[in-house]
A and B are shown apart, each in its own frame.
Chain A
Amino acid sequence: MKKAQNRRSFLALGAATAASCTKPVATSESGAHMRVYGERSPHETSARVIRELTASLGTGSSRTPLHEIYGTITPSALHYERHHSGVPAIDSATHELLLHGLVDKPIVLTMADIKRFPAFSRTYFLECGGNSVGDQQGTPMPTVQGSHGLLSCAEWTGVKLSLVLQGVGLQPEAKWMIAEGADAGRMARSVPIEKVLDDALLVYGQNGEALRPEQGYPLRLLLPGWEGNTSVKWLHRLHFAAEAAMSAKETANYTELGKDGKAQIFTFVMEARSVITRPSGGMKLPPGGGLHEITGFAWTGKGRIARVEVSTNGGATWADAEMQSPVLSLALVRFRFPWQWDGKEAVIQARCTDETGYLQPTHEELVAVRGRFSGYHYNAVRPWRVAVDGAVTVA
């Protein structure tokens, strides 16, 4: 039935074309129409997993299927989400960014104004500060999507904030920038001015097209290498001040409670981390052993990954994995490692070292220092167990 319809519309198209050309154009029985905006094959089902945190829809997260991503870029439709009051519907034609506070010339920029600045594109990872909180508490999710999926990587396009600020006359007392979103809750975070002037971006593009609404359309802040929450989405106000706002999301949340009852505040940088995404929890290898490629991601908020190592014997020995070039600073790095599985039970894991010499800790090393309830910035090694029947589970 469907096929017949398709065929009819093809014939119609052919007839229309024929009318305007001298020669009839052949159409193929099996070929589909072109589309003005493409969609993936109906045979592909890769999807985010949504976790609503409240009955009021919108406060929650959706996680990237890391085990199904090829290469290093997260397709925009699969980029992770974390919202505190849903996704607002904003028209870019009327959206405005207010810059005020300790500046000589407070201004309002439209999206057209922002796009007049010279554009800057760069590939950066983005990871939620709360990624893998369950792992730290000792209740890890069974799949890599569940445990690590608040992680994505995209090519972002926008303008360097330092360039925009040349026009407003930043005053020397301005030590912080309070960034506020136009979401229902007007979420706000304070950012030290050093980061603002170093590499902060006003972003309107994601993977070559406009930001997706759930990524902050039409404008978001992007702070490379820092916990995702600071890259405020739906950005509509930048307030320059001598001190931080001490907003709810930088005091009550996104602070790290230690074993002694004291909490660390303004812990921004995501430290080095890696994880094997294939084979990973929930997958099943054909039993009996054989040659398999172990692959996954490594990343660090402090620059470049220097080394990724893989162990296939529970951490007894380690060997260097191959890092796919180019290894970009502050972006996901794809690593690969050929594994001749002997068919016996095995524990596989990856660990990475960044260019500062920092080595990714084990779970035991991390909780010995931070305890189980710091809640953010968990970056420990994640071992997977491969059973004799090929089933892969959390080790």
Chain B
Amino acid sequence: MAGLYAVALWAQGRPATSEEMKRRDLTVFADGRGLPVGKGSAVQGQGIYKAQCAVCHNDRGEGREKQYPALVGGIGSLATDKPKKSVGSYWPYATTVWDYINRSMPFDHPRSLSVDEAYAVTAFVLHLNGIVGESQELNEKTLPLVEMPNRNGFVPDQRPDIKAKR
């Protein structure tokens, strides 16, 4: 009985086809694996941003009210008593910016951008943060090489870090 629980294959489902794995796999790793072939620059991304992002994130990524996060600002603020987290100040990898925009944005129509549009609007957001040049082309090879300001800002779990006293 116990042996059955240990080794039996209760259900095997069906084999996944390579077509559906490719279609459904959104994962992009920090070294760029998973990025589709494509390209775009901030100049090309500006119009897309204006049409599809600015309504929530504002013209230059300042954000709107508290609810629509700013996409810029706060570089150098993390160790102060007014830390401001943004793509520019906090996010460690440019690949994560592309991945998040590609999978989750625009918030009301996610995954509606083409691959090239995603590269272009990512370039525009990074350009707003002063991280890439206006006409610098981002593609599946160059995006992982973009050096984010907070690349080395993360450390592993330090807990238990507090020794409470009785």
Using CB atoms and an 8 Å cutoff, list the residues of chain A in contact with chain B: 53-56, 59, 84-85, 98-100, 105-110, 113-114, 116-118, 163, 166-167, 178, 180, 184-188, 236-237, 239, 241, 243, 245-248, 251-252, 255, 257, 259-269, 271, 358-362, 365-366, 369-370, 372-373, 377
A369–B11 CB distance below 8 A: no
Q: Is B115 an interface position by the 8 A CB rule?
A: no
B104–A114 CB distance below 8 A: no
Interface range, B side:
35 or more
Q: How far is the CB of A108 from chain B (nearest CB, A)?
A: 5
A185–B103 CB distance below 8 A: yes
Tell me, in angstroms, the Cα distance from A86 to B157 when the chains sit together. Answer: 30
The 8 closest A-B pairs by CB, nearest first: A261-B79, A185-B104, A261-B78, A361-B164, A248-B100, A109-B13, A106-B16, A113-B11
Q: Please judge, given known A-B contacts A98-B21, A358-B160, A369-B162, whether A53 and B67 are in contact too, CB under 8 Å.
A: yes
Q: Is the interface of B mostly helix, strand, loop or mixed?
A: loop
Tell me, in angstroms, the Cα distance from A357 to B26 when the chains sit together. Answer: 42
B27–A264 CB distance below 8 A: no
Tell me, in angstroms, the Cα distance from A53 to B7 when the chains sit together. Answer: 46
Using CB atoms and an 8 Å cutoff, list the residues of chain B in contact with chain A: 5, 7, 9-16, 20-21, 24-30, 56, 67-68, 78-81, 83, 85, 87, 90-93, 95-96, 99-100, 103-104, 107-108, 110-111, 153-162, 164-166
Partner pick for B83 among A56, A116, A239, A373, CB 8 A cutoff = A373
Partner pick for A54 among B20, B67, B110, B161, CB 8 A cutoff = B67
What are the residues of chain A within 8 A of B16 when measuring CB–CB?
98-100, 106-108
Q: How far is the CB of A393 from chain B (nearest CB, A)?
A: 24
What are the residues of chain B within 8 A of A271 when measuring CB–CB?
159-160
B15–A105 CB distance below 8 A: yes
Partner pick for B154 among A54, A85, A265, CB 8 A cutoff = A265
Given contacts A259-B79, A268-B157, 11 further A-B pairs with CB under 8 A are A85-B107, A99-B16, A100-B16, A106-B16, A106-B21, A107-B16, A236-B24, A243-B29, A260-B79, A264-B158, A365-B164
Q: How far is the CB of A53 from chain B (nearest CB, A)?
A: 5
Tell me, in angstroms, the Cα distance from A100 to B26 when the chains sit together. Answer: 12
What are the residues of chain A within 8 A of B104 when measuring CB–CB?
84-85, 184-187, 248
Tell me, in angstroms, the Cα distance from A244 to B117 when the chains sit together. Answer: 26
Tell me, in angstroms, the Cα distance from A54 to B107 when the chains sit together. Answer: 11
Name the CB-closest residue of A to B79.
A261
A257–B83 CB distance below 8 A: yes
Tell me, in angstroms, the Cα distance from A186 to B103 when the chains sit together. Answer: 6
Q: Can you identify 15 A-B contacts, CB atoms within 8 angstroms?
A: A98-B21, A98-B24, A108-B15, A113-B12, A184-B104, A184-B110, A185-B107, A186-B104, A248-B91, A251-B93, A252-B100, A257-B78, A257-B90, A262-B154, A264-B155
B155–A54 CB distance below 8 A: no
A185–B110 CB distance below 8 A: yes
Name the CB-closest residue of A to B110.
A184
Name the CB-closest residue of A to B111.
A186
Q: How far is the CB of A44 from chain B (nearest CB, A)?
A: 32
B78–A188 CB distance below 8 A: no
B154–A365 CB distance below 8 A: no
A247–B99 CB distance below 8 A: yes
Q: How far is the CB of A267 from chain B (nearest CB, A)?
A: 5
Partner pick for B162 among A185, A255, A366, CB 8 A cutoff = A366
